Chain A
Amino acid sequence: MIAVETAEIYPWFADSPTGALSTSGSQPYYGRLVTAGQNDYWEQDLSLRSGSYRLRHLGQTANSYGIASITSRGHALATFDGYSVSLTFGVIREATGCLVRPGALRLTVASKSGSSSGYTWPTTMARLTRTGV
């Protein structure tokens, strides 16, 4: 199948979000998705060519953020911990070797670190780049 092999994901245009979706922020640098409670998620349908992908996520970290689990059609791709002692903008997370199939990619705030006070998860955007079969 021929299909695009790089894709950008913008959470404000996601399909099927649960929780409170907000793009407000005090910095113009980021749009933010706020998921208000545990197990909130957003989902984005992707028309990608199947294969191994590198996943990158641009967001921020803080002491009230949760842990995001990213899956493709139920298959786990990556887990990112959003906790940090202080608020940090422009944090880039990366996972490689992600097996992606055409269909929905889902980000779920499934848990949090013991130090975090909440389950917020902000996303500016994410990007997938195909690296192999």
Chain B
Amino acid sequence: MNVLYAAKEPILMPRKLYYWPWMATAQGGTWSWSGASARIFGGAYASATATAGTQWLEFENATASPGTFRVRFLCFTSTNSGIVHVLLNGVDTGARADLYSGSTVDNVVVNSSTFQIPAYTRATLRLVTGSKNALSTGYGLRLQHICLEKVSDGRDEGRTIDDLPWRYDVPPWAYESGGATPVVSITTGARWGSYYAVVNQNEYLEYRLFLPAGTYTLLCIARHNTNRAIATVTLNGNTIGSMDQYAGASTDNASSSIAGIVVTTTGVHTLRLTGATKNVSSSGYSLAANWLEFRRTA
């Protein structure tokens, strides 16, 4: 259901924004992505050891109202992990999170020190291993999930819908019923650790998600393969593009995108991916998704 809102209706901003390392807008240094470990939630993490300041992840358009914030990391700590520095628009906030520990500790949540955001912002969040504990042997950075969290009370109201988040996740497991029931495949090398797939021609994956009015890019992470379809992608029944999931060999974590998606109304929208056609080289109409994300661009 799409809803038109009155112009002066109050706006409530979320106090937590979540980021998957493997959905970073940009990254620096050498990263590896793996999921074949009990210490990894979601089937993926980013690992790096290098010199200070060369390893970083960046996420654009982090919206925040004035207040006190911290960044939280689901990660594993180890003897060669560094200290994460939190930057906004290239400026060091002074917030730090030390990921060093005397031995490897799996699946822990480490909170950064707090920092102030003095005014409404839509900033680029950068997380960089800028230094290290004297006991650490390196600048390793293993992040599974990230949360930018407001910790001070009050002033959560936004000024316009542009203060609402600019990223909206679509977890593939949260599919709508009505079509074929997707089959889940657990894949240790895959981001999010699994993918959901429908098999036959014209079957679809359908999701409902909130989007403020704006222009978006849709990103889809999926296992492409020799039997994949071309996904016809619709939003509220209107075709917005297609994604060819065919590959000459099984390829985990392949990325497809559709840019320039104009959303004219703020509200809950229906996204559908249908395996209607296929690449001439493909042997089938299977359609898969590990993760989907709408990223606002304007």
Contact = CB atoms under 8 A, between A and B. Distances in A.
Whether both chains belong to one complex is answered with yes
Contact of B35 (A7, A28, A30): A28
A127 B210 CA distance: 12
A8 B108 CA distance: 20
Given A2-B266, A10-B145, A23 B41 contact: yes
Interface string B259-270: 000000011100
A22 B107 contact: yes
A26 B188 CA distance: 11
B208 interface: yes
A31 to B, nearest CB: 4
B74 A13 contact: yes
A25 B14 CA distance: 29
Interface string A108-133: 00000000000000000101011110
Nearest to A21: B109
Interface stretch (B49-57, B120-128, B169-177, B280-288): B169-177
Interface stretch (B3-11, B25-33, B197-205, B226-234): B3-11
Interface string A1-40: 1111111101011000000001111111111000000000
Nearest to B107: A23
Contacts of A89: 186
A69 to B, nearest CB: 21
Q: Which of B36, B193, B210 has the most chain A CB atoms inside 10 A of its CB?
A: B210
B164 interface: yes
B43 A29 contact: yes
Interface string B94-134: 00000000000011110000000000000000000000000
A49 B266 CA distance: 12
B67 interface: no
Contacts of A47: 12-15, 156
Contacts of A49: 12
15 contacts: A2-B266, A3-B12, A5-B267, A10-B18, A12-B74, A12-B107, A12-B109, A13-B16, A23-B41, A30-B41, A30-B193, A45-B15, A58-B173, A130-B268, A131-B268
Interface of B: 1, 5, 9-16, 18, 35-43, 72, 74, 106-109, 145, 147, 149, 156, 158, 161, 164-165, 168-169, 171, 173-174, 184, 186, 188, 193-194, 208-210, 266-268
Interface of A: 1-8, 10, 12-13, 22-31, 45, 47-49, 56, 58, 89-90, 92, 102, 125, 127, 129-132
